[in-house]
A = this chain, B = another copy of it.
Amino acid sequence: MIILASSSPRRAQILQQLGFEFRIEHPACDEAIHGIPIESIPEELAKRKALEVSARFPKDFVLGSDTLVFCDSKALSKPKNGEEAFEMLKMLKNKTHKVISGVAFCKNNEVLFSNYACTQVIFRDYADSEILNYISTMEYADKAGAYGVQEKGARFVKSINGCFYNVMGLPVALTIDALSCIEHFKEKE
């Protein structure tokens, strides 16, 4: 049994889909971060989340993760309202943006594994009316970049290059690499 140090229902859904047994603990750490390259932020935040939960449950294996959406080197957060969502989806149109997720795996306040994965997402060309139709579904509300690739937001995506599940919030191959640490750890013990 591992702990998923994340409040994201989509990360839980991916771990469940893969067949892993886990329980959820919500991390309570400061997410303000400065002075490191933009690509390194998700891995750093994944470590913070996993370490915060590990401090409370030192005997358990803890998986932390964080995902950021970047376009033209600018991070896109969750839109506050429909107007912000419209601006984001209009900006992403007919362009390639990046989704980067960091993954960290901890036990006893120690980081056993950390890394990050990047997926390039190429959006279709689409009309303003298509954005407005999408916004009316309210699906954008809790999504960084204002779209859900696993829901109706799939309609905006022409093509991706990398791990699909990374765009949803948890890169699969990297998570399997992280969890394989459990085997190595047990062999050492």
| B154 A165 Cβ-Cβ under 8 A | yes
| Number of copies of this chain that the complex holds | 2
Are A18 and B163 interface neighbours, CB within 8 A?
no
Compute how far the CA of A19 lies from the CA of B136 in the bound complex, rounded to whole angstroms.
13
Task: Evaluate contact between B163 and A161: CB separation under 8 angstroms.
Answer: no
B159 contacts A163, C-beta separation under 8 Å? yes
Instruction: Report whether A17 and B152 are in contact in the complex, using a CB–CB cutoff of 8 Å.
Output: yes
Within 8 A of B (CB), among A148-168: 149, 151-152, 154-155, 157-165
The reply to whether the CB of A173 lies closer than 8 angstroms to some CB of chain B is yes
- B157 adjacent to A160 (CB under 8 Å): no
Rounded to whole angstroms, the CA-CA distance of A144 and B17 in the bound complex is 20
A172 at the A/B interface (Cβ < 8 Å)?
A: yes
Q: Is the CB of A172 within 8 A of B152?
A: no
Q: Is A124 an interface residue (CB 8 A)?
A: yes
Whether A18 contacts B154 in the complex (CB less than 8 A), given A159-B162, A160-B162, A162-B160, comes out as yes
Pick the contact of A164: B14, B17, B19, B160 (CB < 8 A): B160
Which B residues are CB-close (under 8 A) to A164? 149, 157, 160, 164
Which positions in A face B, CB cutoff 8 Å?
14, 17-19, 124, 137, 149, 151-152, 154-155, 157-165, 172-173, 176
17 pairs across A/B with beta carbons < 8 Å? Answer: A14-B154, A17-B151, A17-B154, A18-B152, A19-B137, A19-B152, A124-B173, A124-B176, A154-B172, A157-B164, A157-B172, A157-B173, A158-B163, A158-B173, A159-B163, A160-B161, A164-B164
